[in-house]
Chain A
Amino acid sequence: MDIAIFYIAAIVAVAGAVMMILQRNPVASVLYLIISLLAQAMLFVQLKAVFVGALLVIVYAGAILVLFLFVIMLLNLRGEKFTSDKPFLDRGAKITMAVLLFFELVILIKQMAFPQRMDELMVQSSPDFGGVEPVAKLLYTKYLYPFELTSILLLVAIVGAVIMAKKEKPEEGED
């Protein structure tokens, strides 16, 4: 049962990602990315990361990708023609690069020494592993400093986004 859920979620996540990069229409691309992210959230929940899985659905699929949709609608890209590269030379070389990277990562995973006592650890894991309370406790004690820094990062990002997206007024005295 466990392995069936894993395979369904993994196949949907990978298929959604592949469809995302193959789409011409950015709106369809965003929707495929949402499908892929929901399947990834399923994998997170299967790994007992319930809180983080819920965050993935709410923050990523819910907020960030809606922001993408807003920007796509604002830009009005209808009729935009993208330069395309030569199918066999450029595209083939790029796809080969990505496939080689994947095989490199697989070799790395195969060579990794996995600890032997992993199964013991799994049995010991507490029932509320990955729940809101234990994660929040870590966040507010051991990782308090990085957590506070995150708020500064978000503030800077807000200010930066507002300044950059603002319409520039024509300079006084010119034209």
Chain B
Amino acid sequence: MVPMPHYLIVSALLFSIGIAGVILSRNLIIMFMSIELMLNAANLAIITFSRFLNLMDGHVFVFLVMAVAAAEAAVGLAMIMTIFRNRGSIDADKFNLMKW
């Protein structure tokens, strides 16, 4: 049996990579995928706890997180398409209209 901290460290690693992806990338689509990766890292931690505490409630939470992720993907991609149509680019640094 693999001990619990192993799974949690994988989850922490995936979450950090997701953070790195969001702050390093300029491509909106890659930033958005990094957010999905972070949601999944959190899901892995939830599943780990639910396994080692022998409670199935965590599976329900993960189910709800997946529904939220699907909704977020639909709305976010619609926003990216609208931005691309209006500005002709998806470079996050070029959207500085609101910059003071």
Contact = CB atoms under 8 A, between A and B. Distances in A.
A91 B23 CA distance: 9
B100 to A, nearest CB: 19
A146 B44 CA distance: 21
B59 A49 contact: yes
A48 B51 contact: yes
Interface in A1-41: 2-3, 6, 10, 13-14, 17-18, 20-21, 23, 26, 29-30, 33, 36-37, 40
Contact of A102 (B16, B24, B44, B52): B16
Nearest to A21: B21
Contacts of B85: 167
Given A52-B59, A109-B12, A72 B29 contact: yes
A151 to B, nearest CB: 9
For chain A, give the interface size range.
Answer: 35 or more
Nearest to A24: B27
Contacts of A130: 51, 56, 59
A89 interface: no
Interface string A58-96: 011001100110011011010011111000000100110
Given A109-B8, A153-B68, A165-B82, A121 B44 contact: no
A154 B59 contact: no
Contacts of B16: 98-99, 101-102, 105
Interface residues of B, number: 71
Contacts of A63: 70
A47 B59 CA distance: 11
B12 A26 contact: no
Interface of A: 2-3, 6, 10, 13-14, 17-18, 20-21, 23, 26, 29-30, 33, 36-37, 40, 43-44, 46-49, 51-52, 55-56, 59-60, 63-64, 67-68, 71-72, 74-75, 77, 80-84, 91, 94-95, 97-99, 101-102, 105-106, 109-110, 112, 114-115, 118, 121-122, 124-125, 129-130, 134-135, 138-139, 142-143, 146-147, 150, 153-154, 156-158, 160-162, 164-165, 167
7 contacts: A64-B70, A72-B29, A74-B81, A82-B93, A97-B23, A147-B64, A165-B82
